[in-house]
Amino acid sequence: MHLKRWLTSIVAVPVLAALILYGPMASFAALIVVVGAIAAWEYFYIIFAGDKRRMVAPGPAWLAFSGLLILVAAAFQRTDLLFLFGWIGFAGMAMLSMRGFSEAKGREILDRVASGVQFIIYIPFPLAALILLRGQPDGLAWLFFLVFIIFLGDAGAFYVGTYFGRRKLHPAISPGKTIEGAIGGLAANLGVAFAFKAIFLPDLPNLLVAVFALVAGIVGQLGDLFESELKRTSQIKDSGSILPGHGGILDRIDALIFAAPVAYIFKMYIF
């Protein structure tokens, strides 16, 4: 599994880095739309426990369309439209829930609506934050700042947990994660953040960099645990198999999508 993880990273990372570095904003937004579409499929695969008939029902299709509108609005930096399109997704789900409603099925139907609202908050909005971040001054540097902190922090947590982990972090959700791994991940978050700051963003205050790295790292680990919680509830090991050694797209970006809004808030309102 370690070899597959590294081979996948060696192939995928340079290609994605080149696309983000040298491509225009439109190509980055298109990349996020593709990632969002795959993540949406995987999310509903988990929620509906692999039942593809339910995955292609009108509700998920409407939510995917609403998510696309959210990402397109972010590509044009139209933050005023994000919440409108999010509300449109919810309103459509509310309307669809009334079709075939009965008291006996009421709880099941409302659970679907709740899962739809969760989808909007969980995937399109955080991915929109990545697009908005990319569109800001120094946005490219900040995008890589976030990605390096999260992905290398995740690697730090994985390897520290693998070789030194003893005490379980939350065995009911993820038996493989340990407290030692979580601490190792946060240490890696801090180390990567200060190394990146020294090279690319030297004017950032040290204290705020430390706070940002720790908050992003903690929230990223929360995102990892939350996706594990979703999969365990549906008794699914991986969200997909598109990335050998990693699983699905959602398995790879579960921490990033939790940390993306944090990076946008820090960039826009704190730093």
Note the pLDDT tens digit of each residue in 88-142.
999 999 999 888 777 777 888 888 899 999 999 999 999 999 999 999 999 999 9
Task: Give SS3 for 169.
Answer: strand
Average pLDDT of the chain, as a whole number: 90
Digit-coded pLDDT (tens) for 150-159: 999 999 999 9
Distance separating alpha carbons of residues 270 and 142, to the nearest angstrom:
13
The answer to whether 128 and 83 have CB atoms below 8 angstroms apart is: no
Which tokens in the block code for residue 113?
A: 């609506």
Taking alpha carbons only, the member of 184, 166, 271 closest to residue 221 is 184
The answer to whether 165 and 178 have CB atoms below 8 angstroms apart is: yes
Between the two ends of the chain, the Cα-to-Cα distance in Å is: 39
Residue type, 3: L
Band (pLDDT 50/70/90 cuts) for residue 71 is very high
Containing structural domain, residue 242 = 2-270
Q: pTM score, two decimals?
A: 0.92
Res 17: pLDDT: 78
Q: How many domains does the chain have?
A: 1
Res 26: pLDDT: 92
Distance separating alpha carbons of residues 38 and 33, to the nearest angstrom:
9
Distance separating alpha carbons of residues 254 and 123, to the nearest angstrom:
9
How many Cβ atoms from other residues are within 10 Å of residue 44's Cβ? 24
How many Cβ atoms from other residues are within 10 Å of residue 53's Cβ? 7
Res 237: pLDDT: 86
Res 22: pLDDT: 79
Res 133: pLDDT: 96
Distance separating alpha carbons of residues 148 and 259, to the nearest angstrom:
12
How many Cβ atoms from other residues are within 10 Å of residue 200's Cβ? 15
In this prediction, what percent of the chain has a pLDDT beyond 90? 72
